[in-house]
């Protein structure tokens, strides 16, 4: 009679379930923020981080980025510390599969979306792939500036000198740079980002990469991106170049591979053996050894198997491993 409509008519239909867990508004927001982050490489875009059925600190940022992107056609791989079979990786992979009916894989080259914590895979990723990194602390300036408002100003002014002061202090005290993970890197010559806790070994892999890298911090509610073919330069002094971790000619005890990032396996005797940290790549190497027809399933790695040289010549000034 009056044209008044009921609340249930006005509200969006309650389906009780939304594809890929997040509701459509949340996914739309995330996609918009991702696009903005792609447009401003390395800039931290704030976003409304949603509640998820896992705790903050277990990859909620990466999970939300993945959920906003995933479709039924996608092939998702999840890595934790280089391994596909660790509890956190397996849980996240199963969850993403359940809510999106996507395909899942452990093969880096077959995946369309790779969600990862701590590592970038050893095989060179292609243009059709997206790497989602879970980030615990997105702010590279936190160590030198405790006031978050001030550090935003410093990002705005491109005032990153204090990060070099940090490097200087380490060189004076320890004669080498001691940052093991989250090595700050300048993206596209403008913003310095903290590339999540990946080892120094993995930072050069983001430079001029063919794939899109999305870094998302769920607890800190910040998202930033390294678009494909974008320069990523780890901070260094002119006369003290950035160095990757020395793998000291270690050989993988399972696959026999070398010049890859190794996990140290302590032995009872007090010594140690080493395994390639990227389990999917390690298994491919093992499978290749068993093959009789001479074909290989392992892809081309970022670091050469024999020499250990990075695939982009000259990017690492100090190629000694």
Partner 1 sequence: MKNSEPDPNSTAEDVIPATVIEEKPVLKAVGLAKRYGKNVVAVNNVDITAYRGEVLGIVGESGSGKSTILRMLNLEEQPDTGSYELDGIYAGDLFKLDRSEQRAIRVFHIGIVYQNPHIGLRMNNTSSGNVAERLIVAGVRNYSQLRQAAETSFRASEFPLDRMDDPPLALSGGMQQRVQLAKAIALNPKLLLLDEPTTGLDVSVQALVLDTLRRVQRDIGTTMIVVSHDLGVIRMLADRVMVMRHGRVVEQGLADQVLEDPQHAYTQQLVHAKL
For helices 87-100 and 60-69, angle between their N-to-C axes, nearest 10 degrees: 30
Please say which residue, 171 or 179, places its beta carbon nearer to partner 1: 171
Quick one: which of 40, 54, 181, 240 contacts partner 1 (CB under 8 A)? 240
- Tell me if 104 sits within 8 A of 113, measured CB to CB: no
Please say which residue, 164 or 315, places its beta carbon nearer to partner 1: 164
Residue 237 lies near partner 1 (rule: CB under 8 A): yes
* Number of residues engaging partner 1 in binding (CB under 8 A): 16
Quick one: which of 159, 273, 288, 319 contacts partner 1 (CB under 8 A)? 159
Please say which residue, 25 or 237, places its beta carbon nearer to partner 1: 237
Residue 172 lies near partner 1 (rule: CB under 8 A): yes
Residue 7 lies near partner 1 (rule: CB under 8 A): no
- State the Cα angle at 114 between 111 and 115, rounded to 5°: 150
The DSSP line for 246-304 is: P-TT-BBTTT--BSS-EEEEE-TTS-EEEEES-HHHHHHHHHHHH-SS----S--BSB-
Min dist CB 158 to partner 1, Å, is: 8
Quick one: which of 162, 287, 300, 312 contacts partner 1 (CB under 8 A)? 162
Quick one: which of 28, 168, 245, 318 contacts partner 1 (CB under 8 A)? 168
Please say which residue, 127 or 153, places its beta carbon nearer to partner 1: 153
Please say which residue, 20 or 167, places its beta carbon nearer to partner 1: 167
Task: Report how far residue 75's alpha carbon sits from residue 154's, in angstroms, rounded to the nearest whole number.
Answer: 39
Min dist CB 186 to partner 1, Å, is: 12
Residues 6+ apart with CB under 8 A from 78: 84, 89, 90, 92, 93, 96, 104, 114, 115, 116
Task: Report how far residue 107's alpha carbon sits from residue 84's, in angstroms, rounded to the nearest whole number.
Answer: 9
Min dist CB 146 to partner 1, Å, is: 12
Quick one: which of 169, 264, 296, 304 contacts partner 1 (CB under 8 A)? 169
- State the Cα angle at 251 between 246 and 254, rounded to 5°: 135
Residues paired with 181 in a beta bridge: 199
Residues paired with 185 in a beta bridge: 193, 234
Burial class (CB in 10 A: 0-12, 13-18, 19+), 291: exposed
- Tell me if 200 sits within 8 A of 244, measured CB to CB: yes
Residue 290 lies near partner 1 (rule: CB under 8 A): no
Interface mask toward partner 1 for 189-218; x: CB under 8 A: ------------------------------
Give, as ranges, the residues between 18 and 77 that touch partner 1 (CB under 8 A).
Answer: none
Length of the chain counted residue by residue: 321
Q: Which stretch binds partner 1 (CB under 8 A): 49-57, 171-179, 257-265, 269-277?
A: 171-179
Residue 176 lies near partner 1 (rule: CB under 8 A): no
Residue 229 lies near partner 1 (rule: CB under 8 A): no
Ordered strands of the 191-193 beta sheet: 191-193, 185-187, 232-234
Residues of this chain that interact with partner 1 (CB under 8 A) are 153, 157, 159, 161-162, 164-165, 168-169, 171-173, 237-240
């Amino acid at each position: 009679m009056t044209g008044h409509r009921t609340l249930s008519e006005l509200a969006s239909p309650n389906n009780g379930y939304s594809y890929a867990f997040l509701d459509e508004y949340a996914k739309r927001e995330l996609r918009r923020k991702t696009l903005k982050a792609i447009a401003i490489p390395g800039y931290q875009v704030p976003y409304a981080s949603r509640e998820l059925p896992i705790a903050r600190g277990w990859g909620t940022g990466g999970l939300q980025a993945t959920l906003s992107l995933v479709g039924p056609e996608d092939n998702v791989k999840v890595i934790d510390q280089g391994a596909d079979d660790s509890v956190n990786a397996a849980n996240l992979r199963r969850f993403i599969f359940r809510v999106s009916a996507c395909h899942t894989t452990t093969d880096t080259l077959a995946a369309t979306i790779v969600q990862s914590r701590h590592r970038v895979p050893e095989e060179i990723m292609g243009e059709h792939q997206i790497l989602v990194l879970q980030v615990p602390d997105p702010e590279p300036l936190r160590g030198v500036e405790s006031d978050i408002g001030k550090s935003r100003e410093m990002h705005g002014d491109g005032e990153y000198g204090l990060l070099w002061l940090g490097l200087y202090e380490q060189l004076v005290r320890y004669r080498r740079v001691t940052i093991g993970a989250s090595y700050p890197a300048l993206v596209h010559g403008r913003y310095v980002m903290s590339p999540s806790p990946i080892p120094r070994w993995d930072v050069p892999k983001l430079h001029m990469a063919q794939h899109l890298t999305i870094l998302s911090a769920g607890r800190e509610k910040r998202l930033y991106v390294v678009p494909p073919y974008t320069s990523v330069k780890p901070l260094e002094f002119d006369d003290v170049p950035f160095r990757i971790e020395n793998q000291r000619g270690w050989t993988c005890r399972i696959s026999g591979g070398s010049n890859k990032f190794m996990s140290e396996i302590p032995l009872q005797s007090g010594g140690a053996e080493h395994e390639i940290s990227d389990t999917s790549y390690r298994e491919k190497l093992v499978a290749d050894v068993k093959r009789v027809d001479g074909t290989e399933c392992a892809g081309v790695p970022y670091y050469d198997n024999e020499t250990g040289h990075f695939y982009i010549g000259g990017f690492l000034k100090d190629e000694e491993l």
